[in-house]
Amino acid sequence: MPTLAFRLEPLDAPARTEQVTIGEFVIAGWTARDMAAVQHHIDELAKLGVPAPSSVPLFYRVAASQVTQDATVQVLGADSSGEAEPVLFSHGGEMWLTVGSDHTDRKVETYSVAVSKQMCAKPVAATAWRLRDVQAHWDQLILRSWITEGGARVLYQQGPLAAMRTPGDLVPRYCAGASALPDGVMMSCGTLSAIGGVRAALDCHLEIEDPVAGRVLRHSYALTVLPVIA
């Protein structure tokens, strides 16, 4: 089980850094509120050969050991890419929000979405906000990501969290009706469609902007590609 250092930033108290042990990690998939948007993402991935989900939303369990705050992660082959996601975890009796990447092997994804999610590390930021500080204006939070293409940083994803299911929707679905994740449980809450389509990239830059409080969660990471040996 990984133990990560998070800078916790509640609005009504000084920031503090605490060690958080993650014992369970789950990825919520197909979480758009608009079913037309869900179908768009399904169609987008179908072009890559990814099979449609059996139901929506889905909750994929991934080994907690895959969660990392490293600035560089290793991947096998050059067929993977990240995608920005709001990430929730519970610690000290509170739920917290950070930003992370459901980095996925796109080649393996055509065989099995669940297996592809286990294939890659799941980077998360080192800063987190208290969920109740943003819950009232959740829909105004903006999720973005960039990748590098042709030597330039390119906007890859952008949109408000209003496009996605809220924690109040997702958490009870996973936790048998409970309104909060148990301590030590982390949930990645889904993503937005990629601008220009899903594609491989050698880096990923993530952020969640809170325009109400005037602050931003950020994380960046690069890939070290390992050779595929037959």
Give the tens place of pLDDT for each residue, 149-165.
999 999 999 999 999 99
CA distance readout (Å), 203 to 57, 73, 86, 149? 27, 10, 18, 9
CATH classification at residue 191: 3.90.850.10
Q: What is the pLDDT of residue 110?
A: 83
Q: Is 24 helix (H, G, I), strand (E, B) or coil?
A: strand
Q: What is the pLDDT of residue 140?
A: 98
Task: State which residues form the domain around 199.
Answer: 3-226
Q: What is the pLDDT of residue 35?
A: 81
Paired sense of beta strands 127-130 and 94-101, if any:
antiparallel
Amino acid making up residue 216: V
| Contact (Cβ atoms closer than 8 angstroms) between residue 188 and residue 85 | yes
Phi, psi of 107 (to 5 degrees): -70, -45
Q: Is the pLDDT of residue 1 over 90?
A: no
> Lowest-confidence range among 37-46, 51-60, 71-80, 215-224?
37-46
| Contact (Cβ atoms closer than 8 angstroms) between residue 24 and residue 108 | no
User: Domain total for the chain?
Assistant: 1
Band of pLDDT at residue 230, cut at 50, 70 and 90: confident
Q: What is the pLDDT of residue 209?
A: 98
Q: Is the pLDDT of residue 44 over 80?
A: no
For residue 219 the two structure tokens come to: 């994380």
Q: What is the pLDDT of residue 63?
A: 96
d(CA 214, CA 35): 31
Across 197-216, average pLDDT: 95
Q: Is the pLDDT of residue 43 over 90?
A: no
Q: Is 34 helix (H, G, I), strand (E, B) or coil?
A: coil
